[in-house]
Homo-oligomer: A and B are copies of this chain.
C-alpha cells in the first residue's frame, strides 16, 4: 500500500495523528518530573526521549511548548532541572493519565496516584514507583523551524537504579525492570529479548553476546 503526502494531508486530524505517530517504530516511555519556582510539582509523559551522548552524558527529548507540556517547559526554564523516569508495566496506566490536561495548580502526582521523591542534587521530583530514574541539568534547547517543537537537552547528574540490573559491560537490563515500550500514541508493549549482538566489523560475522 502506498500513502502519499497528499493522502496524508487529506486524512482527518485524528487518523493522521495516529498514522504518523506510528511511523517512527517503538518509542521510549518516560515520565518527566519538574517543579515550579513556587514549589508545585508537575509530571508529564513523553515518548520522544533519546540518547544524545555518552561523554559528556546527555539525554534529550522533543516537546511542544503548548498546553500541558508548557508546564514542563516553564519549570525547566525556571529551575534548570528535570528528571526522566522509566515507565514500567506496573504504572503505565497512571503514566498515561498524566497526559490529561490538568490545571497548573493540580499536581499530576496527586491526580494520577504516583509519589514524588527528591534527592539533594536535583531540583525536580522523581517518581518513586519508577525503577530507573535519571536526574538532569538543563543545558540546551533547539527550536525547530519546521514546526513549533523544541529539542531539549540535559546533562545527566545522577542515575538511580536497582543493584542487580547492570551487566559487567555497563549495559542495563531495562527489560528486567519492567520498562515498557510505546507504539503510536497509546499502545503499550512488554518486550522479550531476542539477543545481544557483538560489535560489527566489516567482513567478520557477528555473533550473540
Contact = CB atoms under 8 A, between A and B. Distances in A.
A55 interface: yes
Nearest to A134: B23
Contact of A166 (B14, B19, B132, B200): B19
Given A142-B142, A151-B151, A153-B146, A194 B96 contact: no
Nearest to A111: B202
Number of copies: 2
A1 to B, nearest CB: 5
B53 A146 contact: yes
A21 interface: yes
Contacts of A170: 11, 14-19, 22
Interface of A: 1-5, 8-9, 11, 13-30, 47-60, 62, 84, 86-87, 89, 92-93, 96-103, 106, 111, 119, 121, 132, 134, 139-140, 142, 144-147, 149, 151, 153, 155-163, 166-167, 169-172, 174-175, 179-181, 183-202, 204, 206, 209
Given A13-B55, A20-B54, 9 more contacts: A4-B158, A8-B159, A9-B55, A15-B170, A20-B156, A27-B28, A96-B200, A106-B202, A146-B155
